[in-house]
Structure 1
Amino acid sequence: MSYFNVRVYGLLINERNEILISDEQQEGRHFSKFPGGGLELGEGLIDALKREFMEECAAEVEVLNHFYTTDFYEKSSFNDSQILSIYYFVRPAGRLDLEFKHKPFDFTAGTAQSFRWVKLVALSEDDVTFKTDKMVVRLLLQQMAI
């Protein structure tokens, strides 16, 4: 059975021109992506993104503006669904109270997620795992003329 899997992600850029990356382990796989996740039935995109930031980062965010929606076919890496990803610029509504790491996949014991800042001037497609995230990095770099 094929179905659509709608995902929503936040692009959070701090005052030092660094973007927040989430490193995760799921089903035995390691991957790096922007914070966010799946839309739940009955939920709007903005509410889903705010929920995902609360779940992943324990942080309230303000959703600023739309950046990109997937415009090509992408099959999920985890099941038979077709991925549709929507990206928004966000900013924290308060202080981000996370432990930031400096290396990818530097998990604290008992966790399968860590966060790190990547300088926009050093950002590359290699910093993220999935096809749509790589496209977003490419577009971000073009837009910011870095």
Structure 2
Amino acid sequence: MYPFNVRVYGLLVNEHNEVLISDEQEYGIRFTKFPGGGLEAGEGLVDGLKREFMEECNLKVEITNHFYTTDFFVKSAFNDSQIISVYYKVKNMEPVNLIIKTKVFDFDGEGDVLQAFRWVKLEELKLDDFLFPTDQQVVKLLLNNI
């Protein structure tokens, strides 16, 4: 039996119609995704997403509405678990105070786990920029909603 891995992500769009994305490197793999991550035991989706935004972005967010939940089978790129991802639209409750990069995978420092943030105009999002199939599905939906 496959274990399930529940993930929760936030779509933060600013006043310039740009969405916040995260470039990351982990386990030797580089990928671009939306801010968020794995749900912890005993944690609800909303609390998990708020925690992830605090951990990754040092940012308090409010969930405004559900956007998408995985509706097809996705095997993890990192282990044998089945990924179930839930995406919410969020808004920041305070100014965004991150180092924002303009180039892909423009990491500061070195190490096994690296992360950098970028704002990307919604109309400039590209499926090929995202490695994981669920993120690609969310990009399709975002582009259809412009």
* TM-score in same-fold range (> 0.5): yes
After superposition, what is the alpha-carbon deviation per residue over 1:40-82, rounded to whole angstroms, capped at 9, x for unaligned?
1100000000000000001110111000000000000000000
> Which of 120-129 and 94-103 deviates more?
120-129
Shift of 1:127: 2.3
Of all paired residues, the percent bearing the same amino acid is 62
Which residue type is aligned with residue 128 of structure 2?
A: D
Give structure 2 stretches of 5+ with no counterpart.
Answer: none
Q: TM-score, normalised by structure 2?
A: 0.96
In the alignment, which residue of structure 2 is the partner of 1:129? 131
Give structure 1 stretches of 5+ with no counterpart.
Answer: none
Shift of 1:123: 1.0
Structure 1 residue ranges (4+ consecutive) displaced by more than 4 angstroms after TM superposition: none
In the alignment, which residue of structure 2 is the partner of 1:94? 94
Question: Residues of 2 paired with 1:52 and 1:97: CA distance?
Answer: 15
In the alignment, which residue of structure 2 is the partner of 1:116? 118
Question: Residues of 1 paired with 2:52 and 2:90: CA distance?
Answer: 12
Which residue type is aligned with residue 91 of structure 1?
A: K
Q: Provide the aligned length of Structure 1 versus Structure 2.
A: 144
CA RMSD of aligned residues (A): 1.0
Which residue type is aligned with residue 119 of structure 2?
A: W
Which residue type is aligned with residue 34 of structure 1?
A: F
1:141 matches 2:143:
yes
Question: Residues of 2 paired with 1:59 and 1:33: CA distance?
Answer: 17
In the alignment, which residue of structure 2 is the partner of 1:69? 69
Shift of 1:100: 0.2
Question: Residues of 1 paired with 2:20 and 2:98: CA distance?
Answer: 11
In the alignment, which residue of structure 2 is the partner of 1:39? 39
